[in-house]
Amino acid sequence: MDEKITIKDVARLAGVSLGTASRVVNGAPSVTQSVRDRVEQAISQLGYKPNIMAQSMRGGNTRTIGIMIRSITIPTLARFVRAVQDVLHAAGYTLLITCSEDHPKRELELLGLMSERRVDGMIMTTSSESNAELATARRNMRLPLVLLDRPANEYADAVLLDHYEGMMRAINHLVSLNHRRVALITGSADVYPGRERLRAYRDAVAAGLIEDDPKLVRAKAFDSATAFVETSAVLGIGAPPTAILIGGIDMLPGSLRSIRARKLRIPDNLSIIGAADSDLAMLLEPAISVVRWDYAELGISCANLLLERIANAGQPFTPREIMYPTELLVRESCAPVPRAA
Amino acid sequence: MDEKITIKDVARLAGVSLGTASRVVNGAPSVTQSVRDRVEQAISQLGYKPNIMAQSMRGGNTRTIGIMIRSITIPTLARFVRAVQDVLHAAGYTLLITCSEDHPKRELELLGLMSERRVDGMIMTTSSESNAELATARRNMRLPLVLLDRPANEYADAVLLDHYEGMMRAINHLVSLNHRRVALITGSADVYPGRERLRAYRDAVAAGLIEDDPKLVRAKAFDSATAFVETSAVLGIGAPPTAILIGGIDMLPGSLRSIRARKLRIPDNLSIIGAADSDLAMLLEPAISVVRWDYAELGISCANLLLERIANAGQPFTPREIMYPTELLVRESCAPVPRAA
DNA sequence: TTGTACGCGTTATCAA
DNA sequence: TTGATAACGCGTACAA
């Protein structure tokens, strides 16, 4: 009995026409002060709030932005989402947050959900860059789109992290400590972050910085359970690595469990470098060195890029790609290898 | 040019009336098979999807549920949200996720947002149970409402955690290790989890289990920064505690930093017990004992309660309160105190 | 079984 | 400056 107040009620109480009431609500200039006062009085008296559904239907936009990430339970991504939300809320948008769990099938369903809900734009990653069905589905949405940590293309802007540079720094750090047998555990090369880390690793191999042994490279998936499996695998080979590069924001716990299971001591028996900072990396003893970056900056950037694209809707589109730096945070998880092993 | 397909287009292509097309979409029984086929053919050919905005306006519901938690970056809460999302998505609902950051003012604004967006129901905590303005705002929404970890009332169901029991178990564990000077660091008593933990603590004091020293109890706020400050305070008193109960899901990192700053060794110099399990608690060495519970179960319960309430809308409301157990997970963060201190 | 027409709450256009 | 009215896309009574 109180949620059903429409602009019609406001108009009636103020003794004006529906159109006039609407003009007051939308702050149109052409309205007498006395009328404006009466209407505003009625609005506050009734506690009137415009019905967003109706506005949407009329205006063809929902003031809702879709956001799709791997999982909201990964703190790094949650912090990204928060930054996006801050900017977008301030701009009058609401977020439809969804999690693909890196399943292409789920990703496709969620794209359908976004489309049903008529979001005005999207910020997302994809679980597979090569998946044609996914690419088609994305393109067919014909929506302002910003890709998170995936390259831009004809229909989408992108915000990227310089994983290549970060990985290079990490490798050089290990090399400076005489490590030569360095393992890399990361996610699929089908996706930019995995690809870039692998590229850096291979360049380092080509440059003769580290040993060339395919057994040392595991690029399957980015989740913690996989990290456990892959770390165990790489630790189980005949000549195990002296250091491991963990190339995924959600992989440190899994890797750590595997390392613990083998009773290896960090950094004495094994050096490691993680990806993305976390309480875990900071508070472990020894504290874990990581390749880190600024989540908030990333989120703000994505949000602003999207806002710009929405504002310029209709204009010819030239994709923009913004690259953010990563840095190596050296803590205590890497120790030198004796020269004569 | 492809997002503008309405049911009208479908009707035209299928050569039927708008009403008939609608009947097919909504699976009404009274429609000839041949006609149904033709319409469905048109639907898939056009890629038609009903406009949810229009449906909402007609039906008066948005199939959107509001959810308000402290912060999405707290893993415990993120896991809760995920569970809620799983259930609600399956039921055709979408989530409007918001974070109060435990600021009453922000909470009020977000309530306004929910109201503007015409959510069909809400799942939320509140930053202050005694705040009358907040209580009024909640009641005035006149919406199906499930409170998370706050007591039920005349207008809301609730899902609660048995913090009292968990805290008692934790205290008894410490007592069995001869601890007598036990500190409690938790959030405000203005909120159920803080209140229950304090109640357990005071009962233990009354029972003569632990020392009665007000300096050992700090109940300010649940965030990590406050945990740092309060832990430092309690560690700085003349006769510091031999054990600390950390009563908040986001407080362990802050407390730990303070403990580290004072170079105290866990559990040799200080025993601690945390709240809610985490990678941090599991992987630290020594691993941290915690009072834990099942987040997923909690989320599922909230979602189902809300779904029931929505289904029974209009019926007379008798509040339901569901209590979930907590358990003490003993790990390595507590050591016995020598009998003769 | 199918088609027609109305109303949901807005905004915008057009007259007055 | 203001009022009346036509959309927006859909579901559904009511009529055919």
pLDDT digits 0-9 by tens, B158-196 = 999 999 999 999 999 999 999 999 999 999 999 999 999
Contacts of A253 in chain B (CB under 8 A): 279, 282-283
What span, in angstroms and rounded, lies between the C-alpha atoms of A267 and A243? 9
What span, in angstroms and rounded, lies between the C-alpha atoms of B262 and B272? 15
Mention every residue, 6+ apart, whose C-beta is less than 8 A from residue B89: A113, B95
Interface with B, mutate which of A49, A53, A103 (most B CBs under 10 A): A53
What span, in angstroms and rounded, lies between the C-alpha atoms of A140 and A115? 10
> What is the pLDDT confidence band of residue B3, given thresholds at 50, 70 and 90?
low
Chain B contact for A79 (CB, 8 A cutoff): yes
What span, in angstroms and rounded, lies between the C-alpha atoms of B201 and B333? 19
State the distance between the two ends of chain B, measured CA to CA, in whole angstroms: 80
Whether the Cβ atoms of residue B273 and residue B127 lie closer than 8 Å to each other: no
Q: In residues, how long is chain B?
A: 341
Count of beta carbons in the 10 Å neighbourhood of residue B48: 18
Count of beta carbons in the 10 Å neighbourhood of residue B35: 16
* Of residues B113, B257, B279, nearest to A280 (C-beta): B279
Share of chain B above pLDDT 90, in %: 88
Instruction: Report CA(A16)–C1'(C15) in Å, whole number.
Output: 17
Highest-pLDDT range among A215-219, B22-26, B137-141 = A215-219
Count of beta carbons in the 10 Å neighbourhood of residue B265: 11
State whether the beta carbon of B58 lies below 7 angstroms from any atom of strand D. yes
What span, in angstroms and rounded, lies between the C-alpha atoms of A123 and A138? 11
Domains of chain A, start order: 7-50 (1.10.260.40), 64-161+295-325 (3.40.50.2300), 163-292 (3.40.50.2300)
What span, in angstroms and rounded, lies between the C-alpha atoms of A276 and B217? 35
Does B260 contact A283 at a Cβ distance shorter than 8 Å?
Answer: yes
As a whole number, mean pLDDT of residues B84-108 equals 97
What span, in angstroms and rounded, lies between the C-alpha atoms of A193 and A251? 13
Q: How confident is the model at residue A314, as a pLDDT?
A: 80
Q: How confident is the model at residue B28, as a pLDDT?
A: 86
What span, in angstroms and rounded, lies between the C-alpha atoms of A217 and A207? 17
Instruction: Report CA(A79)–C1'(C10) in Å, whole number.
Output: 36
Does B57 contact A52 at a Cβ distance shorter than 8 Å?
Answer: no
Whether the Cβ atoms of residue B174 and residue B273 lie closer than 8 Å to each other: yes
Q: How confident is the model at residue A308, as a pLDDT?
A: 95
The candidate with the shortest Cα–Cα distance to B291, out of B169, B172, B125, is: B169
What span, in angstroms and rounded, lies between the C-alpha atoms of B192 and B163? 9
Chain A contact for B263 (CB, 8 A cutoff): no
What's the mean per-residue pLDDT of chain B?
Answer: 95
Which H, E and C letters describe A170-192, residue by residue? HHHHHHHCCCCCEEEEEECCCCH
What span, in angstroms and rounded, lies between the C-alpha atoms of A331 and A334? 8
Ranges of chain A whose pLDDT falls below 50:
1-2, 341
State whether the beta carbon of A52 lies below 7 angstroms from any atom of strand C. no
State the distance between the two ends of chain A, measured CA to CA, in whole angstroms: 80
Confidence check: pLDDT of B1 > 60: no
Q: How confident is the model at residue A1, as a pLDDT?
A: 37
What span, in angstroms and rounded, lies between the C-alpha atoms of A84 and A303? 5
* Of residues A49, A257, A283, nearest to B284 (C-beta): A283
Q: Which two tokens stand for residue B127?
A: 């930053």
Q: How confident is the model at residue A298, as a pLDDT?
A: 97
Q: How confident is the model at residue A248, as a pLDDT?
A: 98
State whether the beta carbon of B18 lies below 7 angstroms from any atom of strand C. yes
Instruction: Report CA(B56)–C1'(D9) in Å, whole number.
Output: 10
* Of residues B54, B78, B113, nearest to A73 (C-beta): B78
Strands A327-329 and A289-292: antiparallel
pLDDT digits 0-9 by tens, B264-280 = 999 999 999 999 999 99
Confidence check: pLDDT of B303 > 90: yes
How many Cα atoms sit within 13 Å of A107 on the Cβ side? 22
Instruction: Report CA(A51)–C1'(C11) in Å, whole number.
Output: 12
* Beta-bridge partners for A61: none
> What is the pLDDT confidence band of residue B2, given thresholds at 50, 70 and 90?
very low
Strands A271-275 and A217-220: unpaired
Contacts of A117 in chain B (CB under 8 A): 52, 94
Whether the Cβ atoms of residue B288 and residue B280 lie closer than 8 Å to each other: yes
Cis amide linkage into residue A286, ω under 30° from 0: yes
pLDDT digits 0-9 by tens, B224-250 = 999 999 999 999 999 999 999 999 999
> What is the pLDDT confidence band of residue B68, given thresholds at 50, 70 and 90?
very high
- The answer to whether the predicted template modeling score (pTM) of the entire model surpasses 0.85 is yes
A30, closest nucleotide (Cα–C1'): D1
* Beta-bridge partners for A274: A290
* Beta-bridge partners for A145: A122
